[in-house]
Amino acid sequence: MPPRSPFERLGRLVDNFSPGFSAQVEELRRQMRAGLDQAGSGQADPQADPATDPATALAQLRNETIGDCRRCQLAPTRTQVVFGVGNPRAALVFVGEAPGADEDAQGIPFVGRAGQLLTKIIEAMGLRRDDIYIANIIKCRPPGNRNPQPDEIASCEPFLIAQLDIIRPKVICALGTFAAQTLLKTKEPISRLRGRWQAYQGIPLMPTYHPAYLLRNPNEKETVWKDVQLILTQLGLPVPPRAKTKKV
C-alpha cells in the first residue's frame, strides 16, 4: 500500500541513508507530525486535512520545524532563512544551490539576476513561477556567496528532503553542480550530468546548468533550452516555439 501522507513517505526514506542522517530525518518527521497534530486541533485551515495538505505541511515545516534555525555556522551571518516558494502541488520543482544577497534580503529564492533569468526560462516554457516550486540545497546565504560547505549541506539537506517528499513533483530540475551532486549523491561534474535523465527517490531528475553560470557563459543558454525541452516532454507539455525564448 502506498504511504498516505507526507510524513509516512518521509519515514520510508530513513533506511536509505547512513544511521546519523537517518536519525536527523526521523527526528524531523517526528517534529512535523507533532506540529501538525497540534495544528489539526484547531489552528489549521478548517478546509485542509493537516495530515495530507501539502501547503499546511510546508508551512509547518518552515515555521515550526525550521523556525529561526541555528543548526550550522551560517546562522550568525544570514539575514533570514530562505525556505522556498511556489505551488505546493507543483509538478515541477527547481532546486538550486544557496541564497545570494538579494534572496537573503527578501527571503525568496531566485530573485537576483540569476533568478530573473530563471523566471525567463520558466516563462519560455509556457509556465509561471506560481505554477512550479523553487528551493535550494541550503536555506541560508553563505558569506560572500562562497560555495556551501559539506557540514552546511548536511545540516540543511533533511529540510529539502522533506520539501520534496511533501510536494512529490513529477519532475525535479537540479540547477548546477551542488544541487545535482547533493540530490544524486555523486561527484560527477554538472557538464557530464546535464541533459541525461537521473532519478531521485523514483522521481525523474534533470540536471542542468545554474542560471548564474549562464550569466557568465551566455553561449550555454541553448544547451539549457535543450534540457528544458526534455523536461516539458516528460511532463507531457508542449514545447513552445523557439521564438518565445529569444529574450532568455
Q: What is the pLDDT of residues 182-235, one digit of tens each?
A: 999 999 999 999 999 999 999 999 999 999 999 999 999 999 999 999 999 999
Question: Residue 201: which of 25, 51, 24, 19 has the closest Cα?
Answer: 25
Question: Residue 176: which of 126, 217, 141 has the closest Cα?
Answer: 217
Q: What is the mean pLDDT of residues 156-162?
A: 96
Listed in order, the ranges of the chain carrying CATH 3.40.470.10 are 79-245
Q: What is the mean pLDDT of residues 21-46?
A: 45
First CA to last CA distance, the chain: 44
- The chain-wide mean pLDDT, for the chain, equals 85
**pLDDT at residue 23, as a whole number:** 55
How far is 39 from 57, CA to CA, in rounded Å? 10
Q: Which CATH superfamily is domain 79-245 in?
A: Uracil-DNA glycosylase-like domain (3.40.470.10)
The DSSP secondary-structure symbol of 149 reads: P
Instruction: Please give the model's pTM, rounded to 2 decimal places.
Output: 0.81
